[in-house]
Amino acid sequence: MHLTRRGAAVALALALVACGARSGLHEGGDPPELLSRDGVRGRSECVTDRDCDADACHGVRCDLGVCLPPRPVVCDDHDPCTADACDPATGACRATRLALDLDRDGVPGPIAGKKPGEPGSCGDDCDDASARAFPGNVELCDGVDNDCNGVVDDEARFVPAPGEAPRLVSDPSLALASAGGLAFGDTSTGYISAYSAQLALGDTKLVVRELSATGGADGPPVAINETAGDAFGGPVVWTGDRYGVAWSDRRDGNYEIYFNTLAPDGHKTGPDVRVTSAPDFSLSPTLVWNGSTFHLVWQDRRSGSFELYGRQLSLDGALLGDEVVLPSAGGAESPWLAGSSSGLALIDRIGDSQDSAIELRRLGAGFVQEGPTLLLADHGRFEAPYVVKNGERYVALWVQKDPHRVFGAVLGPSGALEVPATELSPPGTQSRGPIALPLGDRLVLLYSRQSADGYELYSQPLTGALVADGAEAQLTSSPGDDFAAAMTFGAAGDVGVLFNGRLPDAGGGLKSAVYFSRLVCAAGK
Amino acid sequence: MTTARDGDRAESGRAAAQERWTRSAWATAICLAASGLLAAWGCGGAVVEDTPVPGVDGGADARADARADAKQPSPADAAPDGAKPDAGKDALPEYVDPGCADVPPPIEQFECDPYAAVNPCGEGEGCYPFVDTPTSPCTPETYGALCHSAGEGGQGDPCTDGCQGGHVCVITGQGTQCVQLCDLSSPNPCPDGLVCGAVDVPGIGGCI
């Protein structure tokens, strides 16, 4: 301060007047002429800047007892993504970012009306509501576009869990092991696998084995059928508190269909339920739990040529209603059933070994057909029909032979064919044994492709329209052929796969064996 | 070559097997036993089947019918320990496992070796594997190989005209078809694209 003593006295007097004005001492009188925020209307004497009755941003200051004309503070940091303002208390400029980081992941989202990353958007967080998504983040398999490159779970592929080799499920001392089915209960029970294996010469039994969800110790194998005669199977499904399993079994001279329910530890809950009792073979059971009943379909030659039959069973395994014949154009085999409480879809193969077709139909309650039967492929040599429910759609898979190639098609919610027959395996390869895991809007295809050492397992992510969506992953690499039999979600989004492989035998050759592999999702580059 | 372990049973089984061959031109449709390959594969794989031949009385179906008729046992016959047998197709009470603790081993009847390059079979004949399944829950099956006049079907052909020597007729979920016999322990014994899968005759594999 550089006030003179006289000036200070005057200023003090004026200040008192001014203070009196603020305190109402001058009510009824003329107010002192003060500086307004709009500019100068007059001059007042002052002692400090505050006496000039202006905030610091207007640049009014008291100099030698006189309020000088304002010199407003101009705040502009030349950043279009900030709102600049002067602090009235200090006169300092403050820049406030226009784009907010609501999810506090360190990257702001765009300002209103702009898209992430576009000019003037001031923010490139593609999802400012999720701290798991921001540019530069590592892509994970979590249904989120973690790295904000516009693709959810891009390059996602299912690969063997790190450090986990395929687990041998079948007893190495047994011959002719063949995978049947796999279901996941919960994290405490893990998986149940079903496979057939030759316990003694001429006595192939259906065996179930509990498998740890996380690679821990597996349970002991438990034979399901206690009778003589081969048994093969079986699809396994989880209901929420128990498993259902079906198989074909020739304990009575020709193959019949049997069913039972299993406790979470894999032990039978009661006697086997004989589902068929008919002349000739009943084979290839396929099983779905729709939330209230088991739906079981199989191929049956009781009337001279194979036809498809269906039967419902209760949660307790009681047969419900009558057997239902599911009509086909003739010679229907290899049924595969998929669905949920909202309905079912059945795929099968008709014809003989040289001239065949793949047909798909939707079924409602009681196996009542809904809509027409669709011929997905016709007049060729086909095998391995398979169908899976993917969201509101059904995805059908099959193999066309000579050479073996995997095809797929998508049936829409209305029953219309949304994606016609599309080749899914790489051209020029021998590819067989397709199954799939539905992800809702996408799916994971698992199939086997021939190499110099035999068929190896591959996984390929696909979009809902059956377009490759990410990198293929090779799952096995071993002498002999590997073919997947079943695949299901396990704990925490990982995937269990039961597959047939080969095992060195005592004679230096190879024997068939059943393996389990746990896959995890890996995404990004 | 006959390797029956039990003389009486073998002779009895042999007669039955010869009977089945007499009644049908093809004694096979075998169940292929490797389900993973084909998702839904016969009885989990492929079944050796009795293939009916047009014009020949009594094919697989006739035999199966006869078996089915013959196999309806009395409760006492098929239900030890009070177990109840199945009641038939119209009413199927719960099946009770009889618990066959001491099932005799299968009866082997090998008149020839289906894998041998040279067989004792006559001219125009081939050596074909077969299996006769047990007709009651606790009796063993009979399996082996017998000489029979060769058919015409090669790899992948329907069995309607029989199968060439070195092949076997199987149910694979793709109609009955002739498939080339293969050695299950070999790493890659089949033509390109095909794999060797077990059938439901012990020790026998077919290229699928």
Task: Give me the residue spans of the domains in chain A.
Answer: 5-67, 157-522
Residue B33 lies in a domain: yes
Report helix, strand or coil for A8.
Answer: helix
Residue B78 lies in a domain: no
- Give Cα A416 distance to the centre of its chain: 25
Strand order in the sheet with A356-363: A333-340, A343-351, A356-363, A369-380
The predicted pLDDT at position B10 comes to 34
Interface of A with B in 369-398 (CB under 8 A): 381-386
Q: Are B141 and B134 in contact (CB under 8 A)?
A: yes
Contact flag A226-B42 (C-beta cutoff 8 Å)? no
Q: Å from B74 to nearest chain A CA?
A: 13
Q: Å from B190 to nearest chain A CA?
A: 11
Residue B115 lies in a domain: yes
Residue B95 lies in a domain: no
Nearest alpha carbon to residue A138 among A470, A523, A493: A523
Q: Å from B43 to nearest chain A CA?
A: 5
Residue B77 lies in a domain: no
The predicted pLDDT at position A51 comes to 80
Specify the DSSP class assigned to residue B9. H
Residue B176 lies in a domain: yes
Q: Å from A148 to nearest chain B CA?
A: 39
Q: Å from B142 to nearest chain A CA?
A: 8
The predicted pLDDT at position A289 comes to 95
The predicted pLDDT at position A478 comes to 87
Contact flag A253-B67 (C-beta cutoff 8 Å)? yes
The predicted pLDDT at position B1 comes to 30
Identify all chain B residues contacting A377, using CB atoms and an 8 Å cutoff.
none
Query: Does any CB of chain B come closer than 8 Å to the CB of residue A12?
Result: no
Q: What angle do CA A51, A55, A56 make, to 5 degrees?
A: 105
Identify all chain B residues contacting A314, using CB atoms and an 8 Å cutoff.
none
The predicted pLDDT at position B200 comes to 81
Q: Which two tokens stand for residue A387?
A: 């169908």
The predicted pLDDT at position B55 comes to 31
Q: Are B7 and B183 in contact (CB under 8 A)?
A: no
The predicted pLDDT at position B173 comes to 84
Identify all chain B residues contacting A450, using CB atoms and an 8 Å cutoff.
192-193
Q: Are B168 and B178 in contact (CB under 8 A)?
A: yes
Nearest alpha carbon to residue A193 among A227, A225, A170: A170
Nearest alpha carbon to residue A150 among A167, A126, A181, A174: A126
Residue B73 lies in a domain: no
Q: Which of B40, B137, B140 sits opposite A252 (nearest CB)?
A: B137
Nearest alpha carbon to residue B31 among B171, B159, B144: B171
- Measured between alpha carbons, how far is B196 from B188 in angstroms, rounded to an integer? 7
Per-residue pLDDT of chain A (525 residues; tens, 9 = 90+): 343 444 444 443 434 333 333 333 333 334 344 444 444 444 457 888 778 766 778 877 788 888 888 788 899 999 989 999 998 888 899 999 899 999 999 999 999 899 999 999 999 999 998 888 999 998 887 778 899 998 877 777 788 898 888 999 998 888 888 999 999 997 788 999 999 988 877 778 899 999 998 767 788 998 888 777 788 888 999 999 999 999 998 887 788 999 999 998 888 998 889 999 988 889 999 999 999 999 999 999 998 889 999 999 999 999 999 999 999 887 899 999 999 888 999 999 999 888 999 999 999 988 999 999 999 999 999 999 999 999 899 999 999 999 999 999 999 999 999 999 999 999 999 999 999 999 888 899 999 999 988 999 999 999 999 999 878 889 999 888 999 989 998 887 789 999 999 888 888 888 889 999 999 888 877
Contact flag B187-A453 (C-beta cutoff 8 Å)? yes
CATH topology of domain A157-522: Methylamine Dehydrogenase; Chain H (2.130.10)
The predicted pLDDT at position B51 comes to 37
A333-340 vs A319-326, strand pairing mode:
unpaired
The predicted pLDDT at position B43 comes to 39
Q: Which of B34, B49, B100 sits opposite A512 (nearest CB)?
A: B34
E-state strands within A341-471: 343-351, 356-363, 369-380, 382-390, 393-400, 405-411, 417-423, 431-438, 442-451, 454-463
- Measured between alpha carbons, how far is A68 from A70 in angstroms, rounded to an integer? 6
pLDDT, averaged per 10 consecutive residues of chain B (208 residues), comes to 32 47 40 40 50 31 31 31 35 59 81 90 90 76 88 91 91 87 86 89 88
The torsion angles phi and psi of A464, rounded to 5 degrees, stand at -60, -20
The predicted pLDDT at position B49 comes to 61
Query: Does any CB of chain B come closer than 8 Å to the CB of residue A512?
Result: yes
Residue B35 lies in a domain: yes
Interface of A with B in 461-490 (CB under 8 A): 479-481, 483-485
Identify all chain A residues contacting B97, using CB atoms and an 8 Å cutoff.
225-227, 271-272
Q: Which domain holds residue B135?
A: 7-66+103-207
- Measured between alpha carbons, how far is B134 from B173 in angstroms, rounded to an integer? 23
Identify all chain A residues contacting B49, using CB atoms and an 8 Å cutoff.
281
